[in-house]
């Protein structure tokens, strides 16, 4: 007898890079009996059918979540509150609702209060991505060897958490569980600040005089190029991250600004020893990232 899929019916609300990669994993490993994709634009829905990652498509939230036993909210964070309100009256009793938002406290606050008591919310954040967007950009291997952080809500249903965990294991992820506020602090330093620095550097280069700007592009392989890849990330997604992880980002930004000022002073004073000490420390950190297979 054929094995039962993990979920009978899965609905994706938003199906871009992350949602479509999850749908591809579900297709590959036969984890979903059927998949319905929901997005605003017809071209997104057409792409899902063409790629074979959804059996049905709709722009109607109520229709999308009807009878779904897993609902994945994978749209920009700023849309989550309105989506939670719209789907709430139509959710099947016992359904599991999960999300993939890059910020957890604000997303939980946007979604949880609107859900009925007879469904189970399991917030999650896969630490995987590229600078590309949309359903065509996804691929099933995106999550392999990457962390997925679960931030269960108080009193959350253990069986629902176990099912979402099972999905992420099948996707090849390593699973960690954290409090939402801790998640937001960790991500502020590991992801949000580095992106902010990249956006700033590339913006500064773009503001340079025209002749210098040309040369920055020409000689970009000397370091600038790596920042341009990060700075090419989706503008809406990153706007939402900074608008929704304000406190933690401002705190690490303050620390960073102080450290940058200290470096500025070392350079001005000709204090090569301090510079070398810092660079030796940071080189060792790179080695530990490689050892942790996160390079």
Which range touches ligand NAP (CB under 6 A), out of 24-32, 35-43, 216-224, 258-266? 35-43
Under rule CB under 6 A, residue 39 binds ligand NAP: yes
Torsion (CA) 260, 262, 264, 266 in degrees, nearest 10: -140
Residues 55-94 that bind ligand NAP (CB under 6 A): 74-77, 79, 83
Under rule CB under 6 A, residue 44 binds ligand NAP: yes
Q: How far is the CB of 40 from ligand NAP (least distance, A)?
A: 3
Distance CA 32, CA 9 (A): 6
Distance CA 292, CA 40 (A): 39
Direct distance between the N- and C-terminal alpha carbons of the chain, in angstroms, rounded to an integer = 42
Interaction pattern, residues 91-130, with ligand NAP; x per rule: CB under 6 A: ---------xxx----------------------xx--x-
Distance CA 252, CA 192 (A): 9
| C-beta of 101 vs 123, nearer to ligand NAP | 101
Q: How far is the CB of 23 from ligand NAP (least distance, A)?
A: 11
Q: How far is the CB of 21 from ligand NAP (least distance, A)?
A: 8
Under rule CB under 6 A, residue 152 binds ligand NAP: no
φ, ψ of residue 243 to 5 degrees: the values are: -70, -25
Q: How far is the CB of 12 from ligand NAP (least distance, A)?
A: 8
Interaction pattern, residues 127-146, with ligand NAP; x per rule: CB under 6 A: --x---xx------------
Q: How far is the CB of 251 from ligand NAP (least distance, A)?
A: 20
Q: How far is the CB of 277 from ligand NAP (least distance, A)?
A: 34
Under rule CB under 6 A, residue 35 binds ligand NAP: no
Under rule CB under 6 A, residue 188 binds ligand NAP: no
Structure tokens at 8: 């009978």
Q: If you write DSSP's letter for every residue of the chain in order, what string do you get?
A: -PPPPSEEEEEEES-SHHHHHHHHHHHHTT-EEEEEEE-S-HHHHHHHHHHT--SEEES-HHHHHTT-SEEEE-S-GGGHHHHHHHHGGGPPTT-EEEE--S-SHHHHHHHGGGS-TTSEEE-EEE----S--SGGG--GGGGTT-EEEE-PPTT--HHHHHHHHHHHHHTT-EEEE--HHHHHHHHIIIIIHHHHHHHHHHHHHHHS-HHHHHHHHHTGGGTHHHHHHHHTS-HHHHHHHHHHSHHHHHHHHHHHHHHHHHHHHHHHHT-HHHHHHHHHHHHHHHHHHHHTT--
Residues 14-33 that bind ligand NAP (CB under 6 A): 14-19
Which range touches ligand NAP (CB under 6 A), out of 34-42, 168-176, 197-205, 282-290? 34-42
| C-beta of 83 vs 97, nearer to ligand NAP | 83
Interaction pattern, residues 220-239, with ligand NAP; x per rule: CB under 6 A: --------------x--x--
| C-beta of 31 vs 100, nearer to ligand NAP | 100
| C-beta of 170 vs 280, nearer to ligand NAP | 170
- Residues lying near ligand NAP in the complex (CB under 6 A) are found at 13-19, 38-41, 44, 74-77, 79, 83, 100-102, 125-126, 129, 133-134, 234, 237
């Amino acid at each position: 007898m054929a094995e039962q899929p993990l979920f009978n019916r899965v609905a994706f609300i938003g199906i871009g890079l992350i949602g479509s990669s999850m749908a591809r994993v579900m297709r590959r490993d036969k984890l979903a009996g059927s998949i319905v994709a929901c997005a605003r634009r017809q071209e997104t829905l057409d792409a899902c059918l063409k790629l074979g990652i959804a059996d049905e498509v709709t722009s109607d939230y109520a229709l999308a979540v009807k009878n779904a036993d897993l609902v994945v909210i994978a749209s920009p964070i700023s849309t989550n509150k309105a989506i939670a309100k719209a789907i709430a009256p139509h959710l099947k009793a016992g359904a599991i609702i999960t999300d993939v938002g890059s910020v957890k406290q604000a997303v939980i606050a946007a979604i949880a209060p609107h859900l009925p008591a007879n469904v189970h919310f399991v917030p999650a954040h896969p630490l995987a991505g590229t600078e590309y967007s949309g359903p065509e950009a996804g691929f099933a291997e995106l999550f392999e060897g990457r962390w997925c952080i679960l931030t269960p809500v108080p009193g959350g249903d253990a069986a629902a958490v176990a099912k979402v965990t099972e999905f992420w294991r099948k996707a090849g992820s390593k699973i960690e569980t954290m409090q939402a506020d801790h998640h937001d602090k960790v991500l502020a330093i590991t992801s949000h600040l580095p992106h902010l620095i990249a956006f700033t550097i590339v913006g500064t280069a773009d503001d340079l005089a025209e002749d210098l700007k040309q040369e920055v592009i020409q000689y970009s392989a000397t370091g600038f190029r790596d920042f341009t890849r990060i700075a090419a990330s989706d503008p809406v997604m990153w706007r939402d991250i900074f608008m929704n992880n304000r406190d933690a980002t401002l705190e690490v930004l303050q620390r960073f600004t102080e450290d940058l000022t200290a470096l500025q002073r070392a350079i001005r004073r000709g204090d090569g020893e301090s510079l070398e000490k810092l660079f030796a420390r940071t080189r060792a950190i790179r080695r530990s990232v490689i050892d942790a297979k996160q390079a």
